[in-house]
Amino acid sequence: MPPRGRRPVGGSDAREEILTAAGELFAELGFERTTMRAVAARADVDPALIHHYFGNKEGLLGAALVLPVEPAALLAGLDEDPEHAGEVIVRRVLGLWEGEPEIRQRLLGLMRVGVSHEYAAGVLRDLLGRTILTAVARVVADDHRPLRAGLVGTQMGGLLLGRYVLGLPAVRDATPEQLVVAIGPVVQHYLTGPVAGVPD
């Protein structure tokens, strides 16, 4: 018998509540330490319901890895001011993380799982590799395009890791606009500047 008060069958919001609970626990504990029972308790559902929707823990992880925002939409219109596209990228990404707490929590979960679990890392690597390159396609220089997109991704990933996961004091306490001014030109260089020493 399920504990009193838990839903043994899914309602219209049960699947989303399970995903929300999983994202929160992945953010807090990482993939390995998150259990199906803990997710069920956080979502206030019977554990069998998680198996019904997702099959197993890997299936739950795969569903939880869906980004809460479409990167191509977030970075749309960069070609309107290509000389300042780097600043726009930093401003928009920080704006997303500084905005809705629910989205930040979901993104934190993705980042923490991505650095601790190989399957998650592979999914995110493929997804971000494709979406970043697509998003910056109109402003990135013609040479070394995959490398340039990858460097943009590593720059932004390092910023987000330092500010929101590691909490490096100077980075954590800086205003978003200070970070835009400091990091925007670096991202701009990756987009359009020379990539010295890299063979064609």
Q: What is the pLDDT of residue 2?
A: 46
Cβ-defined contacts of 142-149 (< 8 Å, 24+): 143/195, 143/200, 144/195, 144/198, 144/200, 147/195, 147/198, 148/190, 148/191, 148/195
How far is C-alpha 93 from the chain's CA centre? Answer: 10
Phi, psi angle pair for 113, to nearest 5°: -70, -40
Tokens 């979901």 sit on residue: 106
In this prediction the pTM is 0.75
pLDDT tens-place string over residues 21-65: 888 888 788 778 889 999 999 999 999 999 999 999 888 887 877
